[in-house]
Amino acid sequence: MTVFDRLVDQAWPAAHVEDAHGWRLRYAHGVTKRANSVWPAAEPPDLPAAVEAAERFYYDRGLPAVFSVSPWSRPSGLDDMLQRRGYTVADPTLVMTADLAADRPVTREVAVAGTPSGTWLDTWWSVDGRHPDALPAATGIITGVPAAYATLGDSVGRAVLQGDWLGVYCMATAPHARRQGLAREVLHALLNHGRAQGARRAYLCVTERNTAAQALYTRAGFVPRSRYHYRVRARA
């Protein structure tokens, strides 16, 4: 099991989780694939039966069956098996990491708080949200574990301290406020805050198609370390 699968699962907690022969079936009212997907962390004794049980779990809740698949998913042939079963690939994602040996420069006053303000939530959801009615469920996810919430104008971010690791999530800047360096300041403030709390390394997840964000993270010292994607199958 890769450390990143575990860190992401802990930092983005689903409202409801069931264990099925070592697989974690995560459900959060359909808000984000991350919180509504199978984390196949162990090898089940009967793979076809385990997949069918996972499908029933999501279909009974009105959702498509979704698997989060990384190089450490079990069993090793799961991705091929899901493809043969009609699952399609969605959201190929990089996991990037950075060392926190030194502070990053911050030239503007970034507000960092232990709870997300209304402004923080409005900014994040205006960029990442899908439907206003889903915001309560999304708020439950991002406040499900202790975290730091950074705000600078119309740019926000979230960081979760996980031992030596700091997970960076919810980086979002309103379209009209981009290319002003706000996201860089928010990111640096979160990394410095985590370092002050004892974190020595940081990680984040960014979709492969989001090259603008990857460039920002690369300039902040992040490098690709792993990757994952989702396998999705709608109910027949």
Number of separate domains in the chain: 2
- Asked whether residue 223 is assigned to any structural domain, the reply reads no
| Domain match, 109 and 145 both | yes
Q: Is the predicted pLDDT of residue 81 greater than 60, yes or no?
A: yes
Q: Residue 1's pLDDT is what? A: 45
| Domain match, 16 and 82 both | yes
- Asked whether residue 210 is assigned to any structural domain, the reply reads no
| Domain match, 21 and 75 both | yes
Arithmetic mean of pLDDT, 187-205: 98
- Asked whether residue 188 is assigned to any structural domain, the reply reads yes
Q: Is the predicted pLDDT of residue 214 greater than 60, yes or no?
A: yes
Q: Give the three-class secondary structure for 205.
A: strand
- Asked whether residue 36 is assigned to any structural domain, the reply reads yes
Arithmetic mean of pLDDT, 143-163: 98
- Asked whether residue 170 is assigned to any structural domain, the reply reads yes
Q: Residue 76's pLDDT is what? A: 92
Report the run of H or E that residue 163 belongs to, with start and end.
none
Average pLDDT of the chain, as a whole number: 96
* Tens digits of residue pLDDT in 25-77: 999 999 999 999 999 999 999 999 999 999 999 999 999 999 999 999 999 99
| Domain match, 37 and 111 both | no
pLDDT band at 21; cut points 50, 70, 90: confident
Percentage of residues in the chain having pLDDT higher than 90: 94
* Tens digits of residue pLDDT in 154-176: 999 999 999 999 999 999 999 99
| Domain match, 194 and 126 both | yes
Spatial separation of the C-alpha atoms in residues 120 and 172, rounded to whole Å: 10
| Domain match, 60 and 42 both | yes
Q: Is the predicted pLDDT of residue 16 greater than 60, yes or no?
A: yes
| Domain match, 65 and 127 both | no
Domain CATH number, residue 109: 3.40.630.30
What does each C-alpha distance from 216 to 31, 69, 94, 213, 228 come to in angstroms? 26, 26, 14, 5, 20
CA dihedral 213, 219, 223, 228 (to 10 degrees): 0
| Domain match, 125 and 80 both | no
Q: Residue 68's pLDDT is what? A: 98
| Domain match, 114 and 71 both | no
Arithmetic mean of pLDDT, 217-233: 97
pLDDT band at 195; cut points 50, 70, 90: very high
Across-strand partners of 27? 16
| Domain match, 39 and 107 both | no
Spatial separation of the C-alpha atoms in residues 181 and 167, rounded to whole Å: 21
pLDDT band at 131; cut points 50, 70, 90: confident
- Asked whether residue 207 is assigned to any structural domain, the reply reads no
Q: Residue 33's pLDDT is what? A: 97
- Asked whether residue 55 is assigned to any structural domain, the reply reads yes
Q: Residue 130's pLDDT is what? A: 74
Arithmetic mean of pLDDT, 179-204: 98
Q: Residue 146's pLDDT is what? A: 98
pLDDT band at 236; cut points 50, 70, 90: low
Q: 118 lies in which domain range?
A: 102-199
Region label for 91, one of left (φ > 0), alpha (ψ between -120 and 50) or beta (otherwise): left
- Asked whether residue 211 is assigned to any structural domain, the reply reads no
